[in-house]
Structure 1
Amino acid sequence: MTQLGIFLQTGGASGAAGNPMSGIFMMVLVFVVLYFFMIRPQMKRQKEVKKFREAMKVGDKIVTAGGLHGKIKDMKDTSVVVEIAEGVKVTVEKASVFQTGADMAQR
């Protein structure tokens, strides 16, 4: 007999004798654990990042998703001009900015 057959036979015998509500309770318990340990912290981080992006202003030090460190020189609707070295400016999307210099100092 295959391992799958043995597993199904033993699972079927114990499932019939057990309480049918225990399966539903376990599913709810798994969802609650996932919510508090994975979903909720991720939503909190997303709110913080959104708040960082809305509070950015010219002169702030930032770090992009690609790891570029620089200072904001100009802001547009969806992009930011960042000076990464003396006289070297790059344009990056606001969505790629994750931290500002002040936020990094606090961590």
Structure 2
Amino acid sequence: MGNSPLGTFLPLILLVVVFYFLLIRPQRKRQQEALQMQNSLTPGARVMTTTGLFATVAAVEDDDVVLELAPGVETRWVKASIGRVLTPVDSEPEADTPLTDGHDTGDGDDTSTKQS
């Protein structure tokens, strides 16, 4: 029989290598980046938790972070629950520039205030 042991295991070996480069390696990289971001948290940073809550870091203690949701409202979270650190927007739109692209999208009626 012409089948060699290497010929039967070669597709399996190739499959493992493909899985490593397409799935395992990028996932490890994302985990390391998230861990680095969580360890670099400092008080005053604006963050978003993994559940979508926006807050400001009030204090960092070991594996916990105290987040200030509103003035005087603080909650304690695990560092792993911080999804990302938000960067402040540098430029604000000027008062003279319109917020729309200039195209009329309707017949002039404001549909948000219409009553049925």
TM interval, short-chain normalised: 0.7 to 0.9
* 5+ long unaligned stretches in structure 2: 90-116
Alignment of 1:31-46 (within 5 A): 31-46=16-31
**1:43 Cα deviation (Å)?**
0.5
Tell me how far apart the structure 1 counterparts of residues 53 and 26 of structure 2 sit (CA, whole Å).
26
Q: Check the 8 A contact 1:82/1:90 in 2, yes or no.
A: yes
1:36-90 per-residue CA deviation (whole Å, 9 max, x = no partner) reads 0000000100110111011110000111122211000111111111011232211
TM-score, normalisation: structure 2: 0.68
Gaps of 5+ in 1: 1-15
* Residue aligned with 1:57, SS: coil
Answer 1 or 2: which has greater helix percent: 1
Matching residue within 96, 100, 103 for 2:81: 96
Q: Which has the higher contact order (CA 8 A, sep 6+)?
A: 1
Q: CA RMSD in A?
A: 2.0
Could you tell me the percent identity over the aligned residues? 31
The size of the alignment, in residue pairs, is: 89
- Say yes or no: does 1:51 pair with 2:56: no
TM-score by length of 1: 0.74
